[in-house]
Amino acid sequence: MRERNRRHFLHDTAALAAAIAATPAARVMAAAEDAPEPARPSANETIRVGVVGVKGRGMSHVEGFSEQPNVKVTAICDIDENVIGPAKDHLAKVAPKSPPKFYQDIRKLLEDKDVDVISIATPNHWHALATIWACQAGKDVYVEKPVSHNVSEGRRMVEAARHYNRVVQTGTQCRSHKAVQDAVAFLRSGKLGEVYMAKGLCYKPRGSIGHKPDGEVPKGVDFNIWLGPAPERPFNPNRFHYNWHWFWDTGNGDLGNQGIHQMDLARWGIDKKEFPKTVMSSGGRFGYKDDGETPNTLSTFFEFGDVELQFEVRGLITNPEQEVKIGNIFYGTEGILTIDGYTTWRTYFGPKLEQGANGKGGGDHFANFIKAVRARDSKLLNADIEEGHLSSAYCHLGNIAYRLGRKLHINPASESFLNDPEADAMLTRQYREPFVVPPKIG
């Protein structure tokens, strides 16, 4: 066994609930559950968006929502004042007479009654709490993938969306792309025969991040809020911007970074809406020694009884498979279907893999979300939070199997492991107060 996870379930629910109720955000949102359902916005009514986390992927949120008709980014929120310049500059060009408000603390943003939607592009360990708080505050949510940092969080997010009647979209934008939708439709048509295996590929170069000592928190950074639900630890630049992906406290490795997109499509393609029966993983952080903790090479296998799902992470030099490095391969009794990236699919038939039907096409995931918000109908979402939870959970299950170093047996109905307290303990985490994900919603 590589590592014993020292985290355990928080059994004292009453004490935890008291701690949650004492937080500033909880006090502000205490009456949100009883608040009346907001009126359905008209086609001409402006939807006001607050983007949380504007470095990297968050800039795509700023730009993507700014391009939507009658949608305005009215607020940006980031713990690092040093990275907000590009977002402010972009919005100044879009709406020069009404600059966005800036918040460093998400709790202050959630108090803003002039914000209808919260769009979350923070590190993974903040996704669940930010989403749940936003639902409690009466905001609709667009949250990046993976939606959660651990399995239990994802289910709490689904419960919050349903309980507070919010529209919550997962940032797996491939689901809005025509190529992917057409590929899944082809799989459903039966023309590939019986699909017996799906494979997700994340062959993305990941070099060493080296070693860096702990240091002073940069000026303009609220490190306490950045840590949020994660354990207390000194500031280290190697655990901060982007490299947080490679540490278990805050990220989920490439399986839960790039890989979540391909995991989502693999699960969608084989039409699985529940947890698998077993999971096992093998790999390591090979080729270099650095501060990172997560594997750069990982093979994960899920069993369902009627089909198999495989997933591979390769961060070092490697060859493509059937011309695919980032994508999916579906194996049927009559041929195979590949999805290359996000916008191209191809089929190959017979022993010689002769090319068959194929197609291309992108889409607009932000537009799909806004459509559902205007209609107050989560069924219009291409990537509802339930879908995001399941696909994210598959990634978490793979990481748990890797960290424990053994095959794990799962109870799909309870979304937990079979007679395995050690594995069950890794379905959640200990939270740093007051940044506590509620164990129960409502």
Q: What is the pLDDT of residue 25?
A: 44
Return the SS3 of 117: strand
- Helix boundaries (H) for 137-195: 151-163, 178-189
Return the SS3 of 377: coil
How many Å apart are CA 390 and CA 384, to the nearest integer?
10
Tokens found for residue 185 = 């439709």
Q: What is the pLDDT of residue 347?
A: 98
The CATH superfamily of 20-173+365-383 is NAD(P)-binding Rossmann-like Domain (3.40.50.720)
The answer to whether the predicted template modeling score (pTM) of the entire model surpasses 0.95 is no
User: Which stretches in the chain have pLDDT values below 70?
Assistant: 1-44
Q: What is the pLDDT of residue 337?
A: 98
How far CA 211 is from CA of 208, 337, 339, in Å, comes to 9, 42, 37
Sign (positive/negative) of CA torsion 105, 111, 114, 117? Answer: positive
Q: What is the pLDDT of residues 134-180, one digit of tens each?
A: 999 999 999 999 999 999 999 999 999 999 999 999 999 999 999 99
73 touches 91 (CB < 8 A): yes
DSSP-assigned states of every residue in 286-306: -S---S--S-SEEEEEEE-SS
How many Å apart are CA 130 and CA 381, to the nearest integer?
20
Strand 416-417 versus strand 408-411 pairing type: antiparallel
Element (H, E) at 57: helix 57-66
- Helix boundaries (H) for 291-441: 365-375, 385-404, 421-424
Q: What is the pLDDT of residue 27?
A: 39
Beta-sheet strands, E only, within 164-307: 168-170, 195-202, 278-284, 297-303
